Amino acid sequence: MKKLQKGFTLIELMIVVAIIGILAAIAVPAYLDYTIRAKMSDVVLNCGASMRTQFAEFHADKGVMPTTPGLVGSQARAAQSVLDSVGLGCAESKYTAGQAPAALNFSFANGKVLFANISGVGANTAGVNAGSQLTVKLQGQTASDRPSGEPNEQLSSAVADKFVQFAVVALQDANNNVTGYDLVCGEDVQTYGVTVNGDHVKGKFLPGECR
């Protein structure tokens, strides 16, 4: 008596291959988006989180944001110190490829970090006492754009050479008393009247706090 050979039929194999293909089509893009968001988290931490902490402390002490036009004397020096500190920390992110800041509006060889006051907000604006914005240009894709030149620090073409924006505002109640500070990033900066750069990083590539 012959022993029957057991195995998969061609149809069964085709079904398995089709299932694997469908799973790969879903999982691979999701994984790539995740790796980009992980790198963008580094930018948010070194730029946005630092900005919120130091700008909030400055405003709580001085009553104005460090980007406020017309600051003079010790106030201007203190403001510049904050901008330099935040700018340097932001520039040291692996993905901004910057250098040490030298002035209020400073640019870098392979990237750009730009502070500005948020116009149109102030003590007479409902809910907002004052605000500042920060625009960060991300590194390009060449090795020279990366401080270490490490391949694993290369950004995807989806975000390389694009911009991430941050806004820090002092919130106030109906009596103009400051109640707290808010940090927004990505397209959410529009909440406070900041115009989004046309070549900005899309929301799906930014961490949860920016979406």
Closest to 180 measured CA to CA, from 195, 168, 170, 165? 170
pLDDT truncated to tens, each residue of the chain (211 aa)? 556 656 678 888 888 888 888 888 888 788 888 888 888 888 888 888 999 999 999 999 999 999 888 888 999 899 988 988 888 888 777 777 554 444 444 443 344 778 888 876 654 456 888 889 888 888 776 665 555 556 566 788 888 888 889 999 999 888 888 899 999 998 888 888 888 887 888 888 888 877 6
End-to-end CA distance of the chain: 68
Residue 192 to residue 205: CA distance in whole angstroms: 22
| Domain layout of the chain by residue ranges | 13-210
Residue 196 burial (CB count, 10 A): 14
- 163: exposed, middle or buried (Cβ count in 10 Å: 0-12, 13-18, 19+): middle
Rounded to two decimals, what is the model's pTM? 0.77
